[in-house]
């Protein structure tokens, strides 16, 4: 990768490098399978026990065989396939197989309910859904004629045999960098979730950038405790590790005590060197460790992203784990954009500096004019990692771009040292424990309840989760005000982390003269002790 250079464009600093030839993620992974054939690619750990181990050569064979199964099942280049599965080896092999045959992998949260899947299936129009048994039962209630492949993840991956009789070599498929590789659904405040298309080139560029800036290599062992349906756990962690020849310790879920134990191991065959997490995970781990002194010196890189990291938590991580965390920023639509330096000054509260080949400018949200360093404005991005648009949403795509620049909706500024800081979001997405939550989606579910006239859902600061979901609700006169019933209704239709943690019943939702909800005033409703 060529060294980063600085280019000044008016009053705004833009970070960029010479553009390298675009690559396909599938081709990059094929190269890794061959180069690191005898290296361990991953160990899947369930309940602190190693259940499955695959070398790069074995992973290659399984990717090809499952790809041949998909092809024999009628899946073709460009077809969407939803992965409605818990974190597992089967999930990962299915995803990699789809990339290899040029199909489009659509990973979704395995905890989604019928209402959420109704929309996603309708929007994606998949050729196939791969689901575990509990998820398949939910799909039986979804209005769709799509085929469902049941892939059980409660059994060992070695016992998953539906694809093992197929050939070890996928027929040649012409895959180009601009071809879609995956669709990641991202929440929005103005409607239903949008599917951000990430091309094979987007995904490859993102992984190569991370390898470059964090010096990921084949000597690294990555402790993976993130979900696989996010760009964080799937792109930043898995794609990056496999392209670099690293080994992945793939934990089935995040259990603080288990992850602490894995990170504390010092034996050469088990010693981890990299850990990627969201702030809420670090908080839970620190609470578990309490005052116990543990040695994590062998872990060379601790990263934090997907939600803001409080300065006090930055200091706590450094004190407990022995190194300052590397804060970074990314989006479903763009991959990773900013990172503090691996070696160099790390500024608490800063998302760091732009990654190679990314151009950044800060503009006035009202006029779109460039702003000088130090002034807060909307962050716009341009680069090879950015989505070409949203699936089946041309109007939303048009709104998101301005003369080739992607409008992030985030407010921030750059300081005199070239470090960027986020101050707020134009799009009022709630980020709780690293999860993006659409207030509009939650409001739609609440407003369906008999007796509810309208609601306003916002996020308020929370020390453990970064933000928590709260709801102000206006009921019909005489209607019963039952916060527990409303929460139960939300849990029946939404994932638990979208359910409001606090509810206040109000006579009127705060609005301006034009009828627009005053979200700041709604948040103020939850600042006293009378919250239900």
Q: How many helices (H) and strands (E) does the chain have?
A: 15, 27
Residues 7-20 have pLDDT tens digits of 223 333 343 333 35
The SS3 call for residue 238 is helix
* Long-range pairs for 446-451: beta carbons < 8 A, 24 or more residues apart: 446/471, 446/473, 446/486, 446/489, 446/490, 446/500, 448/489, 449/485, 449/486, 449/489, 450/479, 451/475, 451/476, 451/479, 451/480
Q: For residue 217, name the pLDDT band (cuts at 50, 70, 90).
A: very high
Verdict on whether the full-model pTM lies above 0.95: no
Residues 413-431 have pLDDT tens digits of 999 999 999 987 776 778 8
pLDDT value at position 63? 98
Residues 158-178 have pLDDT tens digits of 999 999 999 999 988 999 999
Comparing 22-31, 125-134, 179-188, the range with the smallest average pLDDT is 179-188
For 284-306, the DSSP string reads HHHHHHTT-----TT--EEEE-S
The average pLDDT across 387-401 equals 96
Q: For residue 327, name the pLDDT band (cuts at 50, 70, 90).
A: very high
- Inform me whether the pLDDT recorded for 1 exceeds 60: no
Residues 27-86 have pLDDT tens digits of 999 999 999 999 999 999 998 999 999 999 999 999 999 999 999 999 999 999 999 999
């Amino acid at each position: 990768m060529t060294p980063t250079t600085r280019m000044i464009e008016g009053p705004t600093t833009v970070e960029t490098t010479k553009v390298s030839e675009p690559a396909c993620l599938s081709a990059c992974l094929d190269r890794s399978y061959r180069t690191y054939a005898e290296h361990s690619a991953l160990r899947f750990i369930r309940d602190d026990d190693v259940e499955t181990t695959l070398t790069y050569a074995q992973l290659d064979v399984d990717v090809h065989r499952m790809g041949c199964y998909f092809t024999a099942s009628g899946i073709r280049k460009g077809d969407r396939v939803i992965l409605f599965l818990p974190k597992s080896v089967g999930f990962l092999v299915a995803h990699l197989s789809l990339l290899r045959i040029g199909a489009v992998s659509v990973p979704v949260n395995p905890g989604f309910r019928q209402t959420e899947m109704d929309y996603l299936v309708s929007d994606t129009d998949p050729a196939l859904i791969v689901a575990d048994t509990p998820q398949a039962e939910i799909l039986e209630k979804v209005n769709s004629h799509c085929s469902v492949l049941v892939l059980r993840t409660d059994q060992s991956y070695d016992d998953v045999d539906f694809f093992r009789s197929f050939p070890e070599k996928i027929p040649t498929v012409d895959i180009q960098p601009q071809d879609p590789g995956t669709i990641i659904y991202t929440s929005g405040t103005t409607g239903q979730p949008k599917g951000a298309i990430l091309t094979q080139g987007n995904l490859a560029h993102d992984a190569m950038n991370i390898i470059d800036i964090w010096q990921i290599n084949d000597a690294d062992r990555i402790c993976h405790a993130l979900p696989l349906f996010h760009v964080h756990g799937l792109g930043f962690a898995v794609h990056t590790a496999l392209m670099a020849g690293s080994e992945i310790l793939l934990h089935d879920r995040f259990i603080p005590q288990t992850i602490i134990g894995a990170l504390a191991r010092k034996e050469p065959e088990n010693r981890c060197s990299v850990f990627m997490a969201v702030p809420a995970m670090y908080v839970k781990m620190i609470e578990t460790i309490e005052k116990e002194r543990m040695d994590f010196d062998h872990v060379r890189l601790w990263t934090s992203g997907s939600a803001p990291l409080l300065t006090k938590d930055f200091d706590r991580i450094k004190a407990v784990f022995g190194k300052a965390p590397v804060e970074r920023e990314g989006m479903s639509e763009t991959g990773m954009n900013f990172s503090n330096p691996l070696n160099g000054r790390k500024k608490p509260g800063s998302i760091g500096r732009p990654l190679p080949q990314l151009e950044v400018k800060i503009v006035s949200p009202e006029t779109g004019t460039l702003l000088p360093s130090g002034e807060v404005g909307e962050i716009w991005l341009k680069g090879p990692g950015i989505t070409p648009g949203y699936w089946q949403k041309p109007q939303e795509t048009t709104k998101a771009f301005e003369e080739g620049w992607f409008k992030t909706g985030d407010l921030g500024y750059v300081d005199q040292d070239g470090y960027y800081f986020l101050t707020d979001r134009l799009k009022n997405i709630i980020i709780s424990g690293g999860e993006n939550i659409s207030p509009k989606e939650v409001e739609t579910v609440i407003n369906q309840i008999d007796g509810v006239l309208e609601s306003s859902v916002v996020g308020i600061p929370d020390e453990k989760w970064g933000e928590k979901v709260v709801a102000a609700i206006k009921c019909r006169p005489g209607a019963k005000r039952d916060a527990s019933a409303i929460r139960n209704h939300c849990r029946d239709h939404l994932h638990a982390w979208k359910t409001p943690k606090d509810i206040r019943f109000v006579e009127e939702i705060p609005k301006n003269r034009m009828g627009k909800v005053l979200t700041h005033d709604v948040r103020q409703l939850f600042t006293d002790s009378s919250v239900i």
